[in-house]
Structure 1
Amino acid sequence: MEYQSPKLAADIIASNFNGKPEDALVLDVACGPGQLPKLMNKHGFKHFVGIDCSKEMIKLATETGLYEELKEILLGPNPLPFKAGMFDVVAMISALQPNYVPLSILTELYQVTKPGGLICVSKTNHTSDNNKSTVAVEKELQSLEDKGFGFA
């Protein structure tokens, strides 16, 4: 079966984004080889910034020719190197998983998203964690909601 998360994310983002796709600045967190921009480009999105912790993934993402900027960044130890409210759309697809990306990154994603912007996050479904990661994600999202972050 083909990996469907990037396509599903691109479709969800395109159908829920209220601005002009061609003007939107998109942050692709844990961008991997650049699958998401290829799919979002079909929906009219043109401006992408990507970050990943892997030099090899950054190299592959560069080869797409779709990113205006790519950075090798290990999420967690250091804050995201972007100004608050910089991005219209922030996406992190299938990267939120145990021992890979810390849940604290969710707060940072909100911080770099413009007011009224869109954040799309999906986690990898590991059956071996017995839903521990799902419970942890839900707890972190509730914490964010308690701090005043809104969810649609």
Structure 2
Amino acid sequence: MSELDRQTAYWDSVAPTKTFTHPLHLPWLDGLDRHAVILDYGCGYGRTVDALAQQGFTHLAGVDTSAGMIARARELHPAMAFDVLDTPPTLARPDASVDAIVLFAVLTCVPGDEAQRRLVGELHRVLKPGGVLYVSDLLLQEDARNRDRYAAFAERYGTYGVFETGDGAVCRHHADDWFPSLLADFEITDTRRIPVTTMNGNASSGIQLLARR
């Protein structure tokens, strides 16, 4: 994964300050055994792992490319398992060893098409047949501020929807038809649109998808 698709220096620098808000839709998890192996890829400071633990799930782990985020996660949740991904998207897990993966606001941090495909391919590898992939991310926004910045950065990054934030990140918002293409090796079983407050405090439109390997 390229440095643009990792941005570890940025995430390390903002790790103490950012707040993530993508909601966990619990009915989508009703069919999972409480001892299922669940991985949070791009776990940040452990917010979603903690929410899963509060619902009684016992076999949880989080990974992230940012050592700063992992340090914060370990400080906030010392009893939970968190690890730094040194060579993303490669996971130190056998094939077909995970029951469910949550991927919350991660694709927005991976601007490149090919990097996103490699990431989803690695998640497909480690999921068991029938395993669940729960994606939550951001759609293209319709307001003038976002349309202007999509247009401003489209030529530089080669993708409409990729933009630079004022504090130094390169992020991506997605056309809704990108997700069926990206998840072509999965069966998408449910989709929901959600309002989301971004890490920089802006109201945005998001999408959540439940898929099975």
- TM-score interval for Structure 1 and Structure 2 normalised by the shorter chain: 0.7 to 0.9
- Of Structure 1 and Structure 2, the greater helix share is in 1
Residue 99 of structure 2: aligned partner: 88
Aligned mates of 1:85, 1:66 — CA distance in 2: 26
* Structure 1 residue runs of 4 or more that deviate by more than 4 Å after TM superposition: 130-133
Q: 1:87-119 CA deviation, whole Å, 9 max, x = no partner?
A: 111111011125276232112112111222211
Give the SS at the match of 1:59.
helix
Residue 111 of structure 1: aligned partner: 125
Say whether residues 1:67 and 2:80 are aligned partners.
Answer: yes
Counterpart code for 1:151: I
Q: 1:125 to 1:73 in 2, by over 3 A?
A: farther
Q: 5 Å matches for 1:15-34?
A: 15-17=30-32, 19=33, 21=34, 23-34=35-46
Say whether residues 1:37 and 2:49 are aligned partners.
Answer: yes
Aligned mates of 2:87, 2:28 — CA distance in 1: 25
Q: TM-score, normalised by structure 1?
A: 0.75
Q: TM-score, normalised by structure 2?
A: 0.56
Q: 1:103 to 1:122 in 2, by over 3 A?
A: farther
Residue 199 of structure 2: aligned partner: none
Counterpart code for 2:123: L
Q: CA deviation at 1:69?
A: 4.3
CA RMSD of superposed structures (Å)? 2.6
The total of aligned residue pairs comes to: 139
Does the aligned pair in 2 maintain the 1:30–1:51 contact within 8 Å?
Answer: yes
Q: CA deviation at 1:56?
A: 0.6
Aligned mates of 1:84, 1:3 — CA distance in 2: 30
Q: What are the ranges of 5 or more consecutive residues in structure 2 without an aligned counterpart? A: 1-18, 142-149, 151-160, 163-172, 190-213
Does the aligned pair in 2 maintain the 1:47–1:66 contact within 8 Å?
Answer: no
Aligned mates of 1:122, 1:115 — CA distance in 2: 21
Q: CA deviation at 1:74?
A: 4.8
Aligned mates of 1:92, 1:45 — CA distance in 2: 17
Task: Return the index of the structure with the highest Cα Rg.
Answer: 2
Q: 1:123 to 1:75 in 2, by over 3 A?
A: farther
Q: CA deviation at 1:66?
A: 4.2
Say whether residues 1:140 and 2:140 are aligned partners.
Answer: no
Give the SS at the match of 1:102.
helix
Which is worse superposed, 42-51 or 24-33?
A: 42-51
Aligned mates of 1:103, 1:45 — CA distance in 2: 29
Q: Among all aligned residue pairs of Structure 1 and Structure 2, give the percentage whose two residues are the same amino acid.
A: 22
Q: What are the ranges of 5 or more consecutive residues in structure 1 without an aligned counterpart? A: none
